[in-house]
Amino acid sequence: MDFLGISSFSNRSGAPGVVRIARISTTASKAEDVLLIEDIVDTGFTLRYLFADLAGRAPNSLAVCTVPR
């Protein structure tokens, strides 16, 4: 199990933001099953960025779980 901190910010409403990574997982690698648990999905911008980053590490599987609002 590992934890990370990531967020995105934009100075204009609806505009793509800049992703800031406070702490990224260093343990996710090839042939592992990764379950990303997200607390809030608003625009999906940050989640898409993180999903692409983790997918680039070629895990065995990659899934997202979130709590509906």
pTM > 0.85: yes or no: no
42 catalytic residue (yes or no): yes
Determine the average pLDDT of the residues in 48-53. 85
pLDDT at 29: 65
> Is 27 or 59 the better-scoring residue by pLDDT?
59
Q: Which residues, including other chains, have CB under 8 Å from residue 59's CB and lie 6 or more apart? A: 28, 29, 30, 31, 32, 33, 34
Q: Which of 2, 39, 42, 53 is catalytic?
A: 42
Please, which pLDDT band fits residue 49 given cuts at 50, 70 and 90?
A: confident
